[in-house]
Amino acid sequence: MTNSRCFLILCVILGLNLSLNLPLAASSGLADRVVEQKLTNGLTVLMVERHQTPVVSLNMTFRVGGVNEQVGQTGLAHLYEHMAFKGTRTVGTKDYEKERPILEEWYRVGTELEQRQRDLARKSPERPASSEDRAAVEELQKRFTELQEKAGQFVAGNEMALLYQRHGGVGLNAATGKDLTRYMISLPANRLPLWAALEADRMAHPVLREFYKERGVVMEERRMRNDDSPNGLLYETFTSAAFRAHQYGIPTIGWESDILSLTPADTEAFFKAHYGPGNATIAIVGDIHPKDIMTLIEQTFGKIPASPPQPQPVTVEPPQRGERRVEVEFDAEPSLVIGFHKPALGHSDDYVFDVIDAVLSDGVTSRLYASLVREKRIAASVSSDSNFPGVRAPNLFVLSATPLAPHTTAEVEAAIYAELERLKMEPVSAKELGKVLNNLDADLVRALRSNGGLASQMALFQTVAGDWRYALKARDKIAVVTTADIQRVAAEYFTKSNRTVATLVKKTGEKKVATVSQREVAR
C-alpha cells in the first residue's frame, strides 16, 4: 500500500483514521476538544489544546489545486506555491519601495520578450522574421538582463525560512495537489505571534520576486520528476489516458509548454482569485489557549478583506466505454499501472474501496503481496491506492507492480486480475476483515499521535469534505463495511471496460520517449 494510500486510508477510516483506541480521536472526545471559529472574512480556524510540551503545529490549507487551472495555464497552483516563499512587501526585500518599480518593469519587459520570441518561432521560411523583428528581440533581451540584475540587488534570499529557523521553527514545508495546497510548520508556542504576522502578510501581500528564476526551478523539477523519471512519466501518461475530460488528467506540475508561457500577471491573478481567507482553513494543535489564539488571528488575518467566491470546476468525466491501454518506452525496467474509475469522497462505495485497498496491499500478509511477491515470486513490488489522483471528484482505484525478472508485466497483470476476480467470487472471511479494520485503526493511532498529524487531518477534511467531522463519520462508515459490500463493489467497478492500463516498456539504445499508443475498445 502506497504512502498516499496510507494517507487516505488513514484518511478515510477516520478520514485518516480517528481510531477507537486513541482517546483524543474517539468520536465524542475529539468533537468536544476541537474549537472551531470562522472569521467574518470567511477564514476557518480549528484548534485543539495539547499542553504536554510547549510547542504548536500549524497547517494552513487552501481549497485550490490543479483542478482550478485553465487550459494553457496548467501548473499555476504549483508555481504559486514556489513563489509564496519569495516573501512579501516587508520580508524578502532590502528596500521594497525601490524594488517595486524595477520588478514591475522587469515583468513587463519579460512578458513582451517572450511573446516576441514566440512570434519569431512561428515564422516560416516563406515568411521569415525581419531584421527589425530580430533587433527588437535583442534589445528586449538586453533590457531584461539589466532589470534582472537590478532586481536581484534588492532580494533578501530565503528570509522567511531563516526567520522561522532562528525562532525554533521546524518542518517548514508546502505541497500542492489536485484538490488543495498546504503550508505547514511547527514552532515553540511563544512564537505564535511571529507566525501570525508572517503568514497574514503572505496571504495579504505576496511579492512574486525572482519569478523567472523560480519558473526555471519548476521546469527542472518537471524534467527530473516527470520527463526523466520512468515512474513519473508512466503515471503522467497513465493519468492523462484515464481522464479524457476532467482536470485530474492534467499533471499538477503542468505541461512543459504551459509552464514556459506562465507570466507574473497570470500568477498574480491566480493568487487573487484563490488564496483569500474564505478559501483557507488554519488548523492549530498544541500548547495553546483558543481564546488567545482567536484574538491574535483576528488582529492579523482578520484585517484581510474577504475575496469574492470563485466558480468551482464543473467538468464531469464521462463514463469510460472500453479498456484503454498505453505504453511508455523508457530505458528502465518494466512496470505496470492499472486504474479503475470509482466515486469521489463521501460516496457510500468509497468507504468500501478503502477496505478493499487494505485487503489487497496493506502489509506483507495482504493478498497481492502474499500471492505475487512471496508465493509466485513474479513481482518485486505491488501496491494499491484507493484515491488517485484526488478525492473531491470521482477518481481511480489504482494498482501498480514491478515484475521480478524474468517474469513479464503481462504475467503480473494476469495475476492481479485473478486476485480481483477472487474478491468478486469468494467472500472475505470475518477474520480477515476484522484484521484489516483493526490495522486501519492502528495506523490511525500512529498517525495522529503528533500535533502535526492531527492538524493535517483536520485541515484536510475541512477543505475537501467541507467539515473536519467527516473524519469521524468515515470511521463509522468503514467499521460497518461487510463482505457482501466488498463483493458487490468489486463486481461493479473492476471490469475491463472501466479500466485503464499503462505499461513501461524497456527500450534501450534510443532516446527516452512516451509512445502515444492508445486504444479504447467499445463495450
pLDDT per position as a tens digit, 149-202 = 999 999 999 999 999 999 999 999 999 999 999 999 999 999 999 999 999 999
341 and 486 in one domain? yes
Residue ending a domain, choose from 127, 152, 177: 152
Whether 487 maps to a domain, the answer reads yes
Q: What is the CB neighbour count within 10 angstroms for residue 256?
A: 16
Whether 30 maps to a domain, the answer reads yes
User: What average pLDDT does the segment 228-245 reach?
Assistant: 97
Whether 19 maps to a domain, the answer reads no
Residue-level pLDDT at 197: 98
Q: Name 457's Cβ contacts closer than 8 Å, sequence gap at least 6.
A: 11, 15, 16, 18, 447, 448, 468, 471
70 and 105 in one domain? no
CA angle 292, 296, 300 (to 5 degrees): 170
Nearest to 266 by CA among 77, 103, 86: 77
Range of the domain at 235: 25-87+158-303
- In the chain, the amino acid numbered 376 is K
Whether 18 maps to a domain, the answer reads no
Residue-level pLDDT at 130: 87
Q: Confidence class of residue 126 from pLDDT cuts 50, 70 and 90?
A: confident
Residue 417, pLDDT above cutoff 80: yes
Here the CATH number for the domain that contains residue 335 is 3.30.830.10
Whether 314 maps to a domain, the answer reads no
171 and 281 in one domain? yes
Q: What is the CB neighbour count within 10 angstroms for residue 477?
A: 20
Residue-level pLDDT at 4: 37
Nearest to 342 by CA among 179, 519, 499, 237: 499
Q: Name 300's Cβ contacts closer than 8 Å, sequence gap at least 6.
A: 196, 197, 199, 200
Whether 246 maps to a domain, the answer reads yes
pLDDT tens-place string over residues 71-98? 999 999 999 999 999 999 999 999 999 9
Three cell numbers written together for 36: 472551531
E strand segments, 34-164: 35-38, 44-49, 55-62
Decide: helix, strand or coil at residue 474: helix
Residue-level pLDDT at 174: 97
Number of domains into which the chain is organized: 3
Residue ending a domain, choose from 152, 177, 200: 152
276 and 370 in one domain? no
Whether 15 maps to a domain, the answer reads no
Query: CA separation (Å) from 133 to 114, 121, 136?
Result: 13, 11, 5
Q: Confidence class of residue 131 from pLDDT cuts 50, 70 and 90?
A: confident
Q: Is 120 exposed, middle or buried (0-12, 13-18, 19+ CB in 10 A)?
A: middle
pLDDT tens-place string over residues 302-315? 999 998 888 888 99
485 and 409 in one domain? yes
343 and 276 in one domain? no
296 and 229 in one domain? yes
Helix (H) or strand (E) holding 263: none
- The crossing angle, in degrees rounded to 10, of helices 96-121 and 131-152 is 150
Confirm if 262 and 215 have CB atoms less than 8 A apart. yes
100 and 39 in one domain? no
262 and 115 in one domain? no
Report the chain's C-alpha Rg in angstroms. 25
Residue-level pLDDT at 171: 96
434 and 398 in one domain? yes
Residue 141, pLDDT above cutoff 70: yes
176 and 56 in one domain? yes
Q: What's the CA gap between 225 and 37, in Å, rounded?
A: 39
Whether 287 maps to a domain, the answer reads yes
148 and 56 in one domain? no
Residue ending a domain, choose from 252, 271, 303: 303
pTM score, whole prediction: 0.90
